[in-house]
Amino acid sequence: MGGWYDPREMKNKSSSQSWPEQVSAFIRTIQLKSLSPRTQDAYFSWVSRVAEHHGVACPSLLGEEEVYSFIHHTQQTCDYKGSTLNQMVCALRVFYRDHLGKDGWRCWGKIRIKRIAPLPTVLTREEVKALLDHVRVARFKAVLALIYHCGLRAGEACRIEVGHIDAARGVLRVINGKGGKHREIPISPEMVERLRTFWTQHRNPKYLFPGVGRGWKEKFGPAKVALKDSAKPMSMSSVQAAMRMCIEGSRLTKPGICCHALRHSFATHLLEEGVSLRQLQSYLGHSDIKTTCIYLHLTEVSEGRAHEAQQRLYAAVIDSAAAVTKPQRKPGH
């Protein structure tokens, strides 16, 4: 990307002294907000785009109307989802209001981004089993099984380190999950033993799921050596590619199947087993329980129980009440 910001510069923030002072200070602003590296990159990208859109060297030169027109132009001409548009508004608001101190701008109060949240794709237990049965590579089978077993995001699963599993307490620690939050999730002894067996196949000193990278055969030879010496975790793209092959092999046609569907399935199946909503919120790492409540709409067992309870209540209350008030027939009629 051209202009005053190149996302590659984020990898070496010590070079920011050569940037305009506003940009160097903006780096400090978003770092102090404890935003994730990906969010920092996205914020810089949006601030860069508003400058490029108006053809200025630095976005601090733009006024309220110019920023407002850019937001309107992007909303009307780009087929972005509400979440992406909301990220754009947040990025520009942080730069102009929080960083530059332009508190008098009224444009932020005029913007309403409609975010449509479709119901997540949930697989039945049989469908999850069918998917995992079609994983041919051991490391992908292990990571996909753990995603479902603990309801992890794909990126969280890839970054799991050997020391993150507390076998004695039966928990898996997720460090620096979404939003930089830590959490603990129950893990069964059987899964711990399965992962331990998998780890003995590579014995990487740090990562449970090390990545081999490109050209690993030429560099290392056997996969076992490549995995043991790897200094990086497995990539999300490789897991997603493995998932696509599983979907094709299992011939499942349900729309929206992806790695994240395993997380949704974990949540739904736990609710069906009677796990409380508060517990599930903690396991998933949701800040707001409203986010967790969406799974209440997806639990087949709960809906079945609700229908049964509704029928019992009808029989016990409404039907019996109707019988009591039924008019008695007079003799001879």
* CATH number for position 69: 1.10.150.130
Decide if 314 is inside a domain.
no
* Cβ neighbour number for residue 168 with a 10 Å cutoff: 7
Asked if 89 and 148 sit in the same domain, the reply is: no
295 is catalytic: yes
Instruction: Mark whether 130 and 42 lie in a shared domain.
Output: no
- Residue 178 is among the residues annotated as catalytic for this protein: yes
Task: Give yes or no: 260 in active site.
Answer: yes
Intervals of the chain under pLDDT 70: 1-21, 117, 213-221, 300-307, 320-333
Domain count, the chain: 2
Catalytically annotated residue among 141, 183, 264, 286: 286
The catalytically annotated residue of 13, 93, 164, 178 is: 178
Question: Catalytic: which of 99, 149, 202, 263?
Answer: 263
Residues 42 and 96 in one domain: yes
Choice among 5, 43, 68, 295 that is catalytic = 295
Q: Would you state the structure tokens that stand for residue 290, as one six-digit string?
A: 């409203």
- 286 is annotated as an active-site residue: yes
Q: Which amino acid is at 144?
A: L
- Can you give the pLDDT at residue 311? 76
- Does one domain contain both 153 and 262? yes
pLDDT tens-digit readout, 165-179: 999 999 999 998 887
Range of the domain at 164: 125-297
One domain for residues 91 and 177: no
Active-site residue, selected from the candidate residues 139, 149, 153, 159? 153
For residue 135, what are its two tokens? Answer: 């994983």
Together in a domain, 138 and 280:
yes
Phi, psi of 161 (to 5 degrees): -100, 160
pTM over 0.85: no
pLDDT for 144 equals 96
